[in-house]
Structures are given as structure tokens and as C-alpha cells.
Structure 1
Amino acid sequence: MLFPESFSEKSVILNLSQEGIRLPATKIFTLHHSSVSNTPARDKKVLVLLHGYPQNHTLYYELVHELSALGILEEWDIVIPDLPGYGRSSKIPSADGSHLANSKRAIASDIVSLINALFGSQQKFVVAGHDRGARIAYRLAKDHRDRVLGTCIMEIIPTKVVFQRMNYLDEHRMTFSTYHWIFLALPPPIPETLIGASSDFYFSHTIESWTGTRHRGHFDPIAVASWDYRAGASIDLEHDEDDERNGTAIVDCPLLILHSVEFGHKYGNVNEIWEALGVPGKVRIKAVGDDQVGHFIPLEAAQEIAGELVPWLNTLHAYAS
């Protein structure tokens, strides 16, 4: 988990209260901004922000600051949890080795339980996710179509496509750049032991190589477990393949796909990939930042992300006045 050290103090200024829920085998910590409007609970506008690896909720401080500057916090409740297994949230892994507890499907269900606890079981919401959080957002949009009004996906392509791109072409460029997908998915305690032997080096190297030149040195690294990646290499792929067989792979809510310029160079056909998985006319795709912006776009390109997010939120038909 990576975060600006000053976040806790500034979260108070931005009126982000600390809350949490307990579920069987899961504890979720979250920050929650309550809008200043007098909107009845059933009509609230709710935006959920999901971080990725290896961060926690504080990845979104800069973005929340920019959203505040654009006035969105007056009308929207913002929910920013630590994903189960990250930060101050916890998740007990599956005892049977299935990794089901850490699957994107299970975590998506946990997020719905969080929303139910905060707002009630009828509350609809918009979800935005980065990295692993984007994969959960994508799963939320497929598994909870009656609750998710729109999905913003940042800096990913679908899991299956990433694994398919790991090959010998282009001197193994894709395989080398995503080696952690395989390394972190190895059976315990292999990655835990090797990372623990030199955690400072591992996380410093990871962040330096993923962050754009303008923001290097901004993060403080702390180790997290790799159960998320074990699920990603197994049960998550099974769920995605089930979607393809069952005809449920298409996301029917509006999609906003945001990625760095470098990400577009790396994967090439980002537009083609996501347009095939959304409804024509409901998919907006945009590269943000410049060639100095790296993987952590909610932080590195926060102003531009907010500038894309706010007008998109305002177009969602369920929130039209």
C-alpha cells in the first residue's frame, strides 16, 4: 500500500470520516465523504473509488482534492475503502486452496455489502477503480448490474488478455513487464519469503519502475500479501471464461476507460479491446497525461482524471435532473 504521508490530516479537512464493517472472514475499513445536500438517502449520488496493488485508500487523495475543487463533493457521497487484504482491511484466504475468498467476485460482493451497510440494500452507485481495483469494478459491473450505474476503469485491460500477451514476441517485453503476475501468484510462502528478505528493494524497484518520472519518490512502500494475484491467475480466469460461455461478458452500463499514454503504447489496441466488451455508444476511452505520467494515474494525473470523471458522471441517465 502506498500513500502520501499527509493524507490522514488532509482527509479531515476534506470531511472524510472513517468507517468500517465486519463480514464473515472479512473486515473492511473505508473513508466516507457525505455530501452536503439534503438529498434523501434513497436518492443519494454515490461514487466508490477502488485502489489497486500495492496501495490503499490514500491513493485517491489527490483525485478527491481535484473533485472537491470542481464542486462534486456537494452532491456526491464518496466511498474509498481499503480493499480486503490491503491497508487496514483484512480477508482470510480460502482454506481449500481455491482462492475463491480473494476472487474479484468475492471482493465485489464485499463492496456491495459495504454499500448496503452505509446506505441500504437499494442504493445504486458508480464505481471507479485503478489497477486491481479496476478489475473489481469490472466484476461489479457484470455481477451487480442492478446496482452499478456506471463504471470507470483505469489503467487495465481484461485479465485474460494480459495472460495471453505473455509470450516470446518482441523479446519477451510483455512477459518481463508483467512478471509480478506470475511471481506473486506462486504458492505460499515463495513470494512472501523472497519479498520479505528484501522488501525495501522490492517495493522501491516496483514503484520506481511503475511511476512516471515526474512523481518518483512520492510513495512510501509497505508489503502486502499476494493472494489477490493467486486468485487472478486461477479462479478469476474461470469466472471470466464462464461469462464468455454464458453470454454475460458484455458490460451494459456506461464505461469510462482511462489510461496513461505509456499504457496505450504498451498494449496498443486498448480501444478495440474495451469497445468489444461494452455497449456501442456507452464506452468512452481516453489517454490521460503525457509521457512523464506512469501507472498511478489517479495520483499522477489527478486533475485530468477529475476533468474526465465529472462530466461523465453528469451524463449518467439515472442522475439526470
Structure 2
Amino acid sequence: MTDTTTDPLARSTAPAPTDPSIPGFDAVDVPVADGVTLHAAVGGSGSPVVLLHGFPQTHLMWRHVAVALAADHTVVCPDLRGYGASSKPAATTPDTYSKRTMAADVVALARALGHERFALVGHDRGLLVALRAGLDHPDAVTHLGLLDAVPTLDTWAVLQGRSAAAAFHLYLMAQPPGLPEALIGASPDVFFGHFLDAWATEPAAMPDDVRAAYLRASAAAVPSIVADFRATAGVDVEHEQADRDAGRRLAVPVSVVQQDWGAALGYDAAAVWRPWADDLELRLTDAGHFLAETAPDEVVADVRALLQR
């Protein structure tokens, strides 16, 4: 019998009966840092691709994309630190939930699974972690797919006037510890459900059981989710500004797929991304924010095209 206290790739306990899972994938819990374990779904075989979820979701958002890619790739879908079934350490320092720390988690996870080099795709919050991994770990990341968000430094720069109301949650969760946790924790289903509903262009693409799983996971992670966003208003900005000042750029092929936020917020999307990457392809989509669920075939095609570069 496997001793799950010492096996770094110990099979996790079965998910709750009401929680869906990715068909054909195994669940693993992998220690990645002192006291921090990432929960992940792993499936397929071939060159590795790691998929990072967004807010307010878990690795389950990749359920369609992951199965398709697993036909010829080893696919790893973790819950980020602070989300889903992964560890949720108390934010004792600004770096506890910095994207630098979360990116190091992902690299450690991949290496524990035997992947020294891997392609990385991130959506929303996962995009920010993937971007940091590409900058900090160019020896590990071979390709970078970035879905529907903007780098932290640029996010704060493009939010202006009334248009910033669309990102009210960024400002709420940037407040000092106590207030946002209390407000969100008082009615988490209303808060997190607002984004699941407001950003869904095709509600049927997110079935009731999946939506319920996202809400349960988010309600159980209010302090860590707030800490993740609070880092985006603090230490993450400092890290990206240091990169910008030093002229650091992504040295791998980069694919950006996003909604036309530039038109909505009044900026040039290509101009925002160009300073970050030498080998960049940007495509706009009308599939909405949750594009991995509303248009999985489109996302799979984009990832496959990226891996050919």
C-alpha cells in the first residue's frame, strides 16, 4: 500500500460526489514548497503541456481542452496555490501569493512529475502566473499561451475612469486585510457567482454541476483568493516594473488570445503585449472570457499552432 505521507505523487482522495472531474485523468497531490501541495489532474502521454486556470475557477475549466490535448501530450492541470484543492497558506508576507511564488510552484510541480521543460498555457489569473514563469524560468518553459488577460503592470495602466468599474473586484481585493475578506465572505456565492454569470457568453457551456463546484471551491478559499489579488496590486507590480526597467522579455514563442479589451478600454492590445515578447502572435476572439469552456476546439487549435512554432 502506498504511504501517502511520503510519496510525492500520492493519489489524492476521491473528489466529493458532487464535484465533476476531467474524464480519464488521474488526480495527484504534489508537494511543491514548504507546507504547500498542489492538487492536479494529469492525463495523456507525449510532450508536456501545463494548463493554469483563472478566476473564479479551478483546473476543471480545462476539462474539454485537456482531454483533446491528451491525445498526443501529457497534460497537467493544477489548482493554483490558494485555489481549489491546493494548499491555501496564510499570507504571512507579500510574497506568499506573488505570481513569482505561484510560478515557482508550477515549475516545481512539473519537475516532480518528471518534466524539466514544458509548454505553459494560462487563463486570467493563470495567465499572470504563466507570464511570470516565462520570465523567471526560461530554462523550463518552451512555449507560452496566454488567454484573456493583460500583464499586471499594464492592467493598472489601462483601467481609466468609468471603464475601471468593470474591474471593481481588483480594487476591492487590493484593500488592506480584513475588509475585502469580510465583505466577500459574508456572501461568497453572490460575489463569485456574479463573475461566472456576467462573463459567460454561453451559460450552457458551464453546466450547473461545474458552476456549483466553482462556487464551493471559491467560498472555501476567500482569504487566499483575496491575497492573490492583493499581491497583484502590490508586489506583482513591483516585479513587473523591475522587468520593464531591465528590458526583460519573454524568450519563447508566445500566443495571446483575448477579447477585444483594447476597443472596450481604449488601448492598443498589440502595443501592450509587444514590449513583453520577441516572438508574439495575438488574436482576438468573440468566444468570451471563459473561452476554454465556450470554444474549446478554438483553444485546442491555438495551442497546437503555438506548439508548432
Scaled to the shorter chain, the TM-score interval is 0.7 to 0.9
TM-score computed with the length of structure 2 as normaliser? 0.84
Matches within 5 A, 1:212-227: 212-215=201-204, 218=207, 219-220=211-212, 221-222=215-216, 223=219, 224-225=221-222, 226-227=226-227
- Structure 2 gap segments, 5+ residues each: 1-17
How many residues are paired up? 279
Secondary structure at the aligned position of 1:7 is classed as: coil
Give, in whole Å, the separation in 2 of the partners of 1:235 and 1:147: 23
Give, in whole Å, the separation in 2 of the partners of 1:7 and 1:142: 34
State the Cα distance separating 1:284 from its structure 2 match: 1.1
Give, in whole Å, the separation in 2 of the partners of 1:246 and 1:272: 18
Give, in whole Å, the separation in 2 of the partners of 1:239 and 1:19: 31
Q: 1:207 — aligned with what?
A: 196
State the Cα distance separating 1:212 from its structure 2 match: 1.1
Check whether the contact 2:130–2:146 (CA below 8 A) recurs between aligned residues: yes
Q: 1:39 — aligned with what?
A: none
Q: 1:76 — aligned with what?
A: 73
Give, in whole Å, the separation in 2 of the partners of 1:118 and 1:58: 19
Q: 1:241 — aligned with what?
A: 241
Q: 1:57 — aligned with what?
A: 59
Give, in whole Å, the separation in 1 of the partners of 2:301 and 2:138: 26
The answer on 1:265 being equivalent to 2:260 is no
Q: 1:161 — aligned with what?
A: 154
Q: 1:283 — aligned with what?
A: 280
Matches within 5 A, 1:63-102: 63-65=65-67, 67=68, 72-95=69-92, 98-102=93-97
Check whether the contact 1:208–1:216 (CA below 8 A) recurs between aligned residues: no
Sort the Cα spacing of 1:216 and 1:74 in 2 relative to 1 into closer, same or farther, 3 A.
Answer: closer
Check whether the contact 1:25–1:91 (CA below 8 A) recurs between aligned residues: no
Sort the Cα spacing of 1:134 and 1:90 in 2 relative to 1 into closer, same or farther, 3 A.
Answer: same
Q: Counterpart of 1:26 in structure 2: which amino acid? A: V
Q: 1:144 — aligned with what?
A: 137
State the Cα distance separating 1:217 from its structure 2 match: 6.3
The answer on 1:197 being equivalent to 2:195 is no
Secondary structure at the aligned position of 1:90 is classed as: coil
1:106 to 85, 101, 104: 101
State the Cα distance separating 1:312 from its structure 2 match: 2.1
Give, in whole Å, the separation in 2 of the partners of 1:80 and 1:270: 28
The answer on 1:30 being equivalent to 2:40 is yes
The answer on 1:118 being equivalent to 2:90 is no
Deviations 1:240-273 (A, max 9, x none): 111122221x111000101135x35324411221
Secondary structure at the aligned position of 1:119 is classed as: coil
Sort the Cα spacing of 1:266 and 1:78 in 2 relative to 1 into closer, same or farther, 3 A.
Answer: same
Check whether the contact 1:260–1:297 (CA below 8 A) recurs between aligned residues: no
Check whether the contact 1:52–1:130 (CA below 8 A) recurs between aligned residues: yes
Give, in whole Å, the separation in 1 of the partners of 2:160 and 2:25: 44
Matches within 5 A, 1:288-307: 288=285, 290=286, 293-307=287-301
Check whether the contact 2:257–2:283 (CA below 8 A) recurs between aligned residues: yes
Give, in whole Å, the separation in 2 of the partners of 1:266 and 1:7: 35
Q: Counterpart of 2:154 in structure 1: which amino acid? A: V
Give, in whole Å, the separation in 1 of the partners of 2:160 and 2:28: 44
Q: Counterpart of 1:80 in structure 2: which amino acid? A: C
Secondary structure at the aligned position of 2:143 is classed as: strand
Secondary structure at the aligned position of 1:92 is classed as: coil
State the Cα distance separating 1:86 from its structure 2 match: 0.2
Q: 2:14 — aligned with what?
A: none
Runs of 4+ in 1 over 6 A off after TM superposition: none
State the Cα distance separating 1:6 from its structure 2 match: 6.8
Secondary structure at the aligned position of 1:157 is classed as: coil
Secondary structure at the aligned position of 2:70 is classed as: helix
Q: 2:123 — aligned with what?
A: 130
Sort the Cα spacing of 1:6 and 1:195 in 2 relative to 1 into closer, same or farther, 3 A.
Answer: closer
Q: Counterpart of 1:21 in structure 2: which amino acid? A: V
